[in-house]
């Protein structure tokens, strides 16, 4: 017998298509991703992987088709649904003149996450707690990627409850 929590869909796309003029970047993608499972997106350069991720995360709008996050049922992700996911597409947006902690602090504030303790916790998780005053511009590629992962996790995405927000 399967666990009902494990079979909850986190993402459903139906006929998702993105065209740029005559070029079709994503063609009628229908998929269902379930909570508690790990998925990989594999394909050659130009196959549409990044475009698909941009569509799912609301960074681009589909030409046709629908996207449902967490059972939104609207056909397009709502802002509160998008706030429940963390993403790292291609390269993270980092401020090179700032330290890892300063980048974490800024992103936590921008996301409205009230708990400052999450900053150090995530830096520990990705192995960057010992970087001190070193500027991000001096980080190796791997260190920048790990910081990007920490930034993607700052709002505590997990597919269950939305992150706590500070009152306006």
Cα 45 to chain centroid, rounded: 21
Among the ranges given (55-59, 79-83, 113-117, 160-164), the one the predictor scored with the smallest mean pLDDT:
160-164
Residue 106 reports pLDDT greater than 80: yes
* Number of domains observed in the structure of the chain: 2
Residue 150 reports pLDDT greater than 70: yes
Q: What is the three-class DSSP state of 168?
A: coil
Write out pLDDT tens, residues 24-77. Answer: 999 999 999 998 888 888 999 999 999 999 999 888 999 999 999 888 777 666
- With contact defined as beta carbons under 8 Å apart, do 26 and 49 qualify? no
Mean of per-residue pLDDT scores for the chain: 85
Q: How confident is the model at residue 158 (pLDDT cuts 50, 70, 90)?
A: low
The DSSP element (H or E) to which 65 belongs, if any, is strand 64-69
In a domain, residue 148? The reply is yes
In a domain, residue 159? The reply is no
Query: 66 and 129, same structural domain?
Result: no
Query: 77 and 15, same structural domain?
Result: yes
Q: What is the three-class DSSP state of 9?
A: strand
Residue (of 48, 47, 125) closest to 86 by Cα position: 125
pTM, rounded to two decimals = 0.68
| pLDDT at site 80 | 77
Write out pLDDT tens, residues 78-90. Answer: 777 877 887 888 7
- With contact defined as beta carbons under 8 Å apart, do 156 and 108 qualify? no
Q: How confident is the model at residue 101 (pLDDT cuts 50, 70, 90)?
A: very high
The range of the structural domain enclosing residue 78 comes to: 9-82
Query: 58 and 25, same structural domain?
Result: yes
What is the torsion angle, in degrees rounded to the nearest 10, for the CA atoms of residue 64, residue 85, residue 106 and residue 117? 170
In a domain, residue 33? The reply is yes
The residue among 27, 54, 82 that closes a domain is: 82
Query: 70 and 36, same structural domain?
Result: yes
In a domain, residue 127? The reply is yes
The CATH number covering residue 64 comes to 3.40.50.300
- With contact defined as beta carbons under 8 Å apart, do 75 and 125 qualify? no
Query: 62 and 120, same structural domain?
Result: no
Residue (of 111, 85, 60, 87) closest to 10 by Cα position: 85
| pLDDT at site 12 | 93
Residue 160 reports pLDDT greater than 70: no
The residue among 82, 108, 134 that closes a domain is: 82
The residue among 82, 113, 139 that closes a domain is: 82
In a domain, residue 1? The reply is no
Average of pLDDT values for 111-128? 92
In a domain, residue 120? The reply is yes
């Amino acid at each position: 017998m399967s666990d009902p929590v494990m079979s909850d869909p986190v993402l459903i796309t139906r006929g998702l298509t993105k065209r740029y003029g005559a070029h079709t970047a994503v063609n009628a993608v229908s998929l269902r991703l379930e909570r508690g499972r790990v998925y990989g997106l594999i394909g050659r350069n130009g196959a549409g992987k990044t475009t698909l991720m941009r569509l799912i995360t609301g960074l681009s709008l589909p030409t046709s088709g629908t996207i449902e996050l967490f059972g939104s049922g609207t056909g397009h992700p709502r802002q509160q649904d998008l706030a429940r996911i963390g993403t790292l597409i291609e390269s993270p947006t980092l401020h090179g003149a700032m330290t890892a902690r300063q980048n974490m602090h800024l992103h936590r504030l921008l996301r409205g996450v009230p708990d400052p303790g999450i900053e150090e916790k995530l830096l520990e998780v990705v192995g960057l707690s010992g970087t001190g005053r070193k500027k991000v511009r001096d980080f190796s590629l791997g260190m920048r990627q790990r910081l990007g992962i920490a930034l993607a996790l700052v709002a505590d995405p997990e597919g269950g409850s939305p992150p706590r927000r500070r009152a306006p």
